[in-house]
Structure 1
Amino acid sequence: MPALNHLIIPAKNKDASAIFLADILGVEAGPQWGPFRPVQTSNGVTLDFVDSPDVRTSHYAFLVEDKEFDTAFAKIKAAGVRYYADPHKHEPGKINHHWGGRGVYFDDPDGHLMELITKPYGSSPP
């Protein structure tokens, strides 16, 4: 079965964006590789940030454990990053509790909409 290996994410400053996300996720941004600054997730997918004058924003969701959510959410709040319970940003300063878990949306430095969830979409509550 094919597996996703990497995504290329355009950024105004690849280093700032990679370091921002890596810090929130509690991982290290990798060293520059070619034109990219990688951030690897626990399932081996690498987000390769690249400098680009044309940043078209996108959405990236991360499935995290409860403890990881707590740590990441504390970092989001401590950094003063605005966060939302919904992707349309109608519920600022709140998180959601879909499928018996928790979720939060926030923007990275380039406006990409990042999401942390503790239960996959469509999960049934415990």
Structure 2
Amino acid sequence: MRINKLTLPASDVSKSVAFFRDVLKLPTAGNSIQVGWSEIRLVSAVGDAPHGVHLAFNVPYDRFDAAIEWLKERTPLQREPDSGECFVLEGHWQSKSIYFDGPDSSVLELIGRRRLIRPTGKRPFSGADLSCLSEVGLPTEDVGSVVAEAARTFGVATLGPASPGFAAIGNDEGVLIAVDTKRLWFPEKRQLPSAKGLEIWLGGVCAPGAMSDLANGWKIHAA
């Protein structure tokens, strides 16, 4: 599954564009940010912008140490008191992650996935190594219902077992993180999840369709 496009409301579109351009060194055109095959389209929020949006970006697993040093030169990393700033997951995830603050109190992540290892050469790490928007957080009062609807609508399963408060729907190339509305985002647990006004377009799923959560304000489409 791929996340081809995300519409993201912002309190200040120009400041958000500047963050993606200047901190993450991503190509921008107007209010559009290109992340490999994914596009983030920033729009002015109607009312309050969502605070607590979670987005993750895939980076090469075998260059993850370089990704850490590159990002630390640009912005502080979030930390967990007992685990530090780099988080290694085995089992179904097979990944390494670092987290950092983004515009409008968003919780952003660079993630390297072992199953996506491919030759990357020896060039210095750069924003060009962010290959896609790989995760979007979706708050919900019923994680199980979102998992079931995604399976029924798009034919998409979870990446490992779901829990009542958390489920990763998709695969290494694209994941929808269904999360309980009261579950604070890892690692610093400062932000409750929000996705008001987010609209997502998927590719690489089994069936076209659409699903949404009116209470939490997000929509998903697949052609």
1:8: Cα distance to partner?
A: 1.2
Overall identity of the aligned pairs, in %: 26
Match of 1:79 among 68, 71, 74: 74
Aligned-partner SS, 1:55:
coil
1:51/1:91 CA distance change after superposition, 3 Å: farther
Match of 1:95 among 69, 82, 86: 86
The 8 Å contact of residues 24 and 72 in structure 1, kept in 2 or not, is answered as: no
Corresponding residue for 1:48? 41
- For 2:95 and 2:4, the matched residues in 1 are separated by 27
1:75/1:29 CA distance change after superposition, 3 Å: farther
Note the aligned Cα RMSD (angstroms).
3.1
Q: Is structure 2 residue 99 aligned with structure 1 residue 105? A: yes
- For 2:33 and 2:100, the matched residues in 1 are separated by 18
The 8 Å contact of residues 25 and 68 in structure 1, kept in 2 or not, is answered as: no
Aligned-partner SS, 1:26:
coil
The 8 Å contact of residues 82 and 106 in structure 1, kept in 2 or not, is answered as: yes
- Is there any run of 5+ residues in structure 1 with no aligned partner, and where? none
Deviations 1:20-66 (A, max 9, x none): 12444432222x2xxxx1111212x2111122241113111111114
- For 1:72 and 1:23, the matched residues in 2 are separated by 16
Corresponding residue for 1:21? 20
- For 1:48 and 1:28, the matched residues in 2 are separated by 12
Computing the radius of gyration from Cα coordinates, the structure with the larger value is 2
| TM-score, L = length of structure 1 | 0.66
Match of 2:57 among 30, 53, 62: 62
Match of 1:39 among 33, 37, 43: 33
- For 2:14 and 2:67, the matched residues in 1 are separated by 19
1:15: Cα distance to partner?
A: 2.0
Q: Which moved more, 1:110-119 or 1:12-21?
A: 12-21
- For 2:34 and 2:28, the matched residues in 1 are separated by 8
Q: Which moved more, 1:11-20 or 1:92-101?
A: 92-101
1:69: Cα distance to partner?
A: 4.3
| TM-score, L = length of structure 2 | 0.41
